[in-house]
Chain A
Amino acid sequence: MRRLLEVKGLKAGYGPTHVLHGLDFMVEEGGVTALLGANGAGKTTTLRAVCGMVRTEGEIRFQDEQLNGRATEDIARRGIAHVPDGRGTFMELTVEENFRLGAYIRNDKQVQSDFDRMCDWFPRLKQRWKQQAGTLSGGEQQMLAVARALLLRPKLLLLDEPSFGLAPLIVQEIFGIMRRIRDESGVGILLVEQNANLALELADLAYLLETGRIVMSGRAAEIRQDEAIRRSYLGY
């Protein structure tokens, strides 16, 4: 399979503090890559590095183009949508306005039909169409964040802990949608998740991070089978 995103020797940090010490990983075209690891392992920083929100060293290639040093808005315009931790929703604006902003860079005719599709996938957002996003429940906000990101028509979707702080039923619903994205849309996904079980079910490739280094990687299906890895690294 062709590589959509390829990262080599990625280092990043905040000010003098280094958080990532040389990561190598990739996302295949239309594939799902999961980054697993405990708090503080550097998962969120990795996503921030890919979309230019922190200073980086190393190589980030997206569809044979270097992303290093580009501005976040230019990276978004190349087709990378990021659902950051804290969701990146525009709390002060309505659901509709969040949708319109999601499709901000697009000028094609299919924006409206994409709106309809997202309302079909997330019927609850349609009910809240004119409501201020800050008044939605946590689950609805996460759905809005995913919808907003998909409306960019990305080639690569970065998801930072979509299950964080949500009730199990809502988590099921959101992962159901992600399966749908994987199967129906051909969008590549880079998924950061603490819930290893859920993430490995969805992913093709998985990498385990510990304090800014990759300590283990491989096909998600194989990692799930390997009881020793599961016990020692993933704790289930």
Chain B
Amino acid sequence: MDGFAHQIIAGIATGGIYASVALAIVMIYQATHHVNFAQGEMATLSTFIAWSMVNAGMPYWVAFFGTILVSFIIGVLVERLLMRPVANAPVLTHVGVFIGLLLIVGNMTGWIFGYTTKVFPTPFTSDQPLFGGLVSAHELGSTAVTLTVLILVWAFFRFTKLGLAMRAAAYNPRSSRLVGIRVGWMLALGWGLAAAIGAVAGMMVAPVVFLDPTMMLGILLYAFAGALLGGIDNPMGAVLGGFAVGVLENLAGAYVVGTELKLTVALAIIIGVLVVRPSGLFGRVVFSRV
């Protein structure tokens, strides 16, 4: 029984990581209605930037917020320089750009920082075991960080004028222009926010899986499953979906399919959701009268 409880809690902890990557995916989706395949690679690059800052002797939290800022700027630049020229191109062109971005960012990270695995620090440490040793200080801390980011993002979209304008620009760019919204900048802002959230996810996952250029590869798949499960247009749903996938993956790995086949759990969830309930558990089904 103790083992079962531990599997669930460990699942929640990894789920927290999937949740924050899922949140980044949903951010871009909200702003642009596309899924950015390079999300994981961009997050890895951000984490390497944080690693460089820490190694240069910066205090952890300075590096943390510094990385968020730099990542935001990178996200905005990617939109302005790469996505902007193909803004009116068909969706397959965008997919092509995303794949290109994935390869370029991934390999550039390896080229600059090398492929050797690196240790990344965690700011969350504790002298005594928490909850009878069931959960580590880092697991607890990173879950708290994920939830904080979620609340901030939710409040931003729900209560601020800018958040509303970003949603409007994603739903209906033409009408948005008619009320004076600068649609191009809303997209860039969406990319910036997604890159910043991805950076947070990367910095939270790196102490667990260790830092190397392919760190996010599997995680992105789980996160995508989580985002779909919760509803790709609902930040809160994506986070809950991320946690659920973490727990499911852990339980299935321990009791059903074994650790080698864990990744198939994510694929099964993706296919299952798309077949049974394409809008996800919490996704909004949009009505329109014709």
| Closest A-B pairs by Cβ, 3 of them | A105-B180, A72-B177, A76-B180
Contact with B181, one of A73, A92, A138 (Cβ below 8 angstroms): A73
Is B128 close to A, CB under 8 A?
A: no
Q: For residue B161, which residues in chain A have a CB less than 8 angstroms away from its CB?
A: 100, 104
Is B288 close to A, CB under 8 A?
A: yes
Q: For residue B183, which residues in chain A have a CB less than 8 angstroms away from its CB?
A: 73
Contact indicator B286/A134 (Cβ below 8 Å): yes
- Closest Cβ of chain A: how far from B180's Cβ, in Å? 4
Assuming the contacts A134-B288, A134-B289, asked whether A88 and B164 have C-beta atoms less than 8 A apart, the reply is no
Contact indicator A152/B168 (Cβ below 8 Å): no
Q: For residue A152, which residues in chain B have a CB less than 8 angstroms away from its CB?
A: 179-180
Contact indicator A101/B168 (Cβ below 8 Å): yes
- Closest Cβ of chain B: how far from A90's Cβ, in Å? 5
> Which A residues contact B (CB, under 8 angstroms)?
51, 53, 71-73, 76-77, 81-82, 84, 88-93, 97, 100-102, 104-105, 132, 134-138, 148, 152
Is B178 close to A, CB under 8 A?
A: yes
Q: A102's closest neighbor in chain B, by CB?
A: B179
Counting residue pairs across A and B whose Cβ atoms lie within 8 Å, the total is 76
A197 to B12, CA, bound (A): 67
Q: B167's closest neighbor in chain A, by CB?
A: A93
Is B171 close to A, CB under 8 A?
A: yes
Contact indicator A90/B175 (Cβ below 8 Å): yes
Q: A89's closest neighbor in chain B, by CB?
A: B175
Contact indicator A88/B180 (Cβ below 8 Å): no
Q: In residues 139-193 of chain B, which contact A (Cβ within 8 Å)?
A: 161, 164-165, 167-168, 171-172, 174-183
A135 to B289, CA, bound (A): 6
A137 to B176, CA, bound (A): 22
A190 to B178, CA, bound (A): 16
Q: For residue A135, which residues in chain B have a CB less than 8 angstroms away from its CB?
A: 287, 289
- Closest Cβ of chain A: how far from B70's Cβ, in Å? 29
